[in-house]
Structure 1
Amino acid sequence: MRTIQKLSILLLSALVLLSCNQKSNTITSQKEYNKYLEIKDNKSKAFVEDEIVFWQKKFDAAPNQISYLSILASNYSKLFENTGNVKYLYKAEDLLLQSNEAYNYSAVGTIRSLARNYISQHRFKEALVLANKAAVIGEGGKETQKLLFDVNMELGNYTQAEQNLKAINNSSDFDYLVRISKWNDHLGDLKTAISLMEKAKNIAILNENKYLQVWTYSNLGDLNGHAGDIQKSYDYYLKALELEPNHSYSLKGIAWIAFSHERNTVEAKRIIDAISKKHNTPDFYLLKAQIAEFENNTMAKNENLNAYFQMLNTINYGEMYNKYNALIYADDKNTAVKALEIAKIEVQHRPTPDSYDLLAWSYYNLGDAEKALEIAEKYVVGKSFEPKLNYHLATIYKANKETVKIAPIKAELLNSIYELGPNLEQKISNL
């Protein structure tokens, strides 16, 4: 009888301890973000739509006023950000092409706007051509240097990007601070990146610029999450939502916390389903596929992957989802050849460590571990601090029996489980 009582007490203690651990692991609160999931109206979207109607009428009445085209394009770009509907991005491109042709590509502001549109479309080399054209004209040099930094970072031209950054050096300038924050993140100095983004945030608050406040809050949500401060990450996403209740990016960040940190797949899916009704993009299906994999639900995983590819087949996203496609194809031996084809195109379009990682990972999944290692050591090692790239690198080292090199990478990866997602936890432990 005493033994049974003892066991009962031990079992009760274990349950209490487990309950406490689960509670301490919970950061999100439905009471805090539910209101953002239930909003039916979208004031920001409605405002932009009204602006489009207003400026379209003005242009129709005075088609010689070319400047109206850029204003219209800007509003269509905002509509794309708000809804995720790529047709608005293409509409903005069309308007900017008309405007640039009317000006005979002599107005630097309009040239830069078209370049930024191409960045959004992942047409980086075309964006660089336009940025260089703006630089030759010379007007508004600082703004062009900012654009050149952005494009060169996307293309992996890091030496040139650093020079662009030096050309705009101004520690009290918002645009400089967010770019030097990105530069430090690229260098692996997350602490400095966060500190600089905090300074940019303070400038946005001082200037009462709602758009820039939301932008910095959501970026600080990301950066703090990568740094392992999940509570601060969550708090920043909430701050962004206070100002912009329909900010789908921040809601997606909260969904990731629910999934990756709290392992609450039911809540993560509920949040994603609510967002995708208003901001439907293919990557939501990929997130749901990840969650299904964690739940060991192969049918749901395949259904979401099929829905993802169906959306890509229905809507033309150009090169925007190449990276995701390559990673999906590479993980299946039957489609690894497709991954290699995409990776080769990505390396041509965008020779970054990310693109070369795709190439190396594709060769690894095709069984050529030596070729994978050769590419990784030449183009990836020491050139990126992204956890996903380091996971691929450690896996390639293991396949080549270079076990000594795995231990330090594995330690870093174990600290990056939140960023990588729970599906890789066991695979990292097995390295």
Structure 2
Amino acid sequence: MNSNDYNSYLNLKGNKTVDFALSEIKFWQNKYDKSPTQTSYLNKIAAYYSLLFEQTGNIEDLHKAENLLIESNKKLNYKDVGSLRSLARNYITQHRFKEALTLAEKAYQIGEKLHETHKLLFDVQMELGNYEKAKESLKAIYDINDFDYLIRLAKWNDHKGDLNTAISIMENASRMTEKLDNKSLMTWSYSNLGDMYGHAGKINDSYDYYLKTLNLDSNNSFALKGLAWIAFSHEKNTKEAKRILEIVSKKHNSPDFYLLKAEVAEYEKDFASQKKYLHDYFMMLDSNNYGVMYNKYNALLFSEENKKLDEAFKIANQEISNRPTPQSYDLLAWAYFKNGESEKALKIVNEHVVKKSFEPEVMFHLASIYKANNLLNEVKPIKKELESSIFELGPNMSAKIQSL
């Protein structure tokens, strides 16, 4: 990494996208105040509040969007498929997946614009772990020349553990956006490719695509966070990682940054700072209404602190109720493992996790549970796989993987 490549993005004053969203909110609010029967104006205002949330991380903007969309749907008697889908997408962002599914199914029953509703159904069913139903919706939107189909096909292949195919499909989708010269879709596909290349260990490609993202969207916090992760996980340059995180976290106020800062502090063996950042993380959750959005992180953190295992069990079970995915069952199995109940943990992963998730973090938990149950032949191939995923997992995991 060369800081000259991205310093200009870190030193930006202001955010043009935020300014634009605020001016559009004001414009459409004035129009709505004059014509309160024009429900479509509410949806436009909601869309710009959602854009504000993406840019700043301010959860209140997401809730404002939700309230406007609820108002819009009430006025339309929950019979407008576009408004139903918009509210469902808001709920997906909030991890309220069952509520999102109810709205998606309502839109499907109305029967208009089913192609768009199938895209939403695919997204929701994937989040809920209903993979066969997701596959049905994917088949229903089949069109090799459609960007929305390609990005979902990429997600499907990634879910199956075929990252190389997922990347190849996403590259095709990215080229499509370039032909269309669609800036927002280009930004989205570039940032996702940056992430996927990182997972595949192609760090230079990851770096290049994060820079391409920033060239289109100078304040893109996902890409800037990606650069911080490369500095930390690949280059072990904690000073640069901290510099980037400090600047970005002031622009995009999200609990994620405290977790990343805590991870860097742990690597530096600065345990006082690590403790402070985790405290700040929980304080931020307490003072804002994030709902269940950070359940996964909380369950894992509470599992690591053996005094709070009751909380870990509670959250894991809540997650299974909300979204019975392999990842949710992994949280429960990990809590049992940390509680010294390795056989219970093994039973859960055998039933709900094995060959159903290929995420490195889940695979590390699986290998640890196998080892505790003396299934050493099962550990070896996973350990080899994990060694090639060390960039994604982070340097703090290196010693843990070696000890498997």
> Which TM bucket (shorter chain)?
over 0.9
Letter in 2 for 1:220: L
- Could you tell me whether the CA contact under 8 Å between 1:156 and 1:351 is conserved in 2? yes
Counterpart CA distance in 2 for 1:207 and 1:99 is 32
The residue that corresponds to 1:54 in the other structure is: 27
Letter in 2 for 1:38: N
Letter in 1 for 2:358: F
Letter in 2 for 1:78: L
> 1:238-275: CA deviations, max 9, x gaps?
00000100001000000000000000111001000000
- Could you tell me whether the CA contact under 8 Å between 1:337 and 1:366 is conserved in 2? no
Query: After the TM superposition, which residues 14-413 of structure 1 pair with which residues of structure 2 at under 5 Å, given as runs?
Result: 28-413=1-386
Letter in 1 for 2:178: I
Letter in 2 for 1:118: Y
Q: What's the offset of the Cα at 1:118?
A: 0.3
> 1:114-153: CA deviations, max 9, x gaps?
0000000000000000000000000000000000000000
- Could you tell me whether the CA contact under 8 Å between 1:357 and 1:380 is conserved in 2? yes
Counterpart CA distance in 1 for 2:395 and 2:309 is 23
TM-score by length of structure 2 reads 0.99
The residue that corresponds to 1:423 in the other structure is: 396
Q: What's the offset of the Cα at 1:401?
A: 1.0
Computing the radius of gyration over CA atoms, which structure comes out larger, 1 or 2?
1
Counterpart CA distance in 2 for 1:95 and 1:370 is 49
Moved over 2 A (4+): none
Q: What's the offset of the Cα at 1:88?
A: 0.5
Over the matched positions of the two proteins, sequence identity in percent amounts to 57
SS in structure 1 opposite 2:241? helix
Counterpart CA distance in 2 for 1:75 and 1:307 is 29
Aligned length: 404
> 1:184-208: CA deviations, max 9, x gaps?
0111111111111111111111111
Q: Where does the alignment leave 5 or more consecutive residues of structure 1 unmatched?
A: 1-27
Q: Where does the alignment leave 5 or more consecutive residues of structure 2 unmatched?
A: none
SS in structure 2 opposite 1:335? helix
Letter in 1 for 2:2: S
Counterpart CA distance in 1 for 2:310 and 2:40 is 47
Counterpart CA distance in 2 for 1:101 and 1:222 is 38
Counterpart CA distance in 1 for 2:43 and 2:305 is 45
TM-score by length of structure 1 reads 0.93
Counterpart CA distance in 1 for 2:221 and 2:229 is 12
Counterpart CA distance in 1 for 2:270 and 2:18 is 36
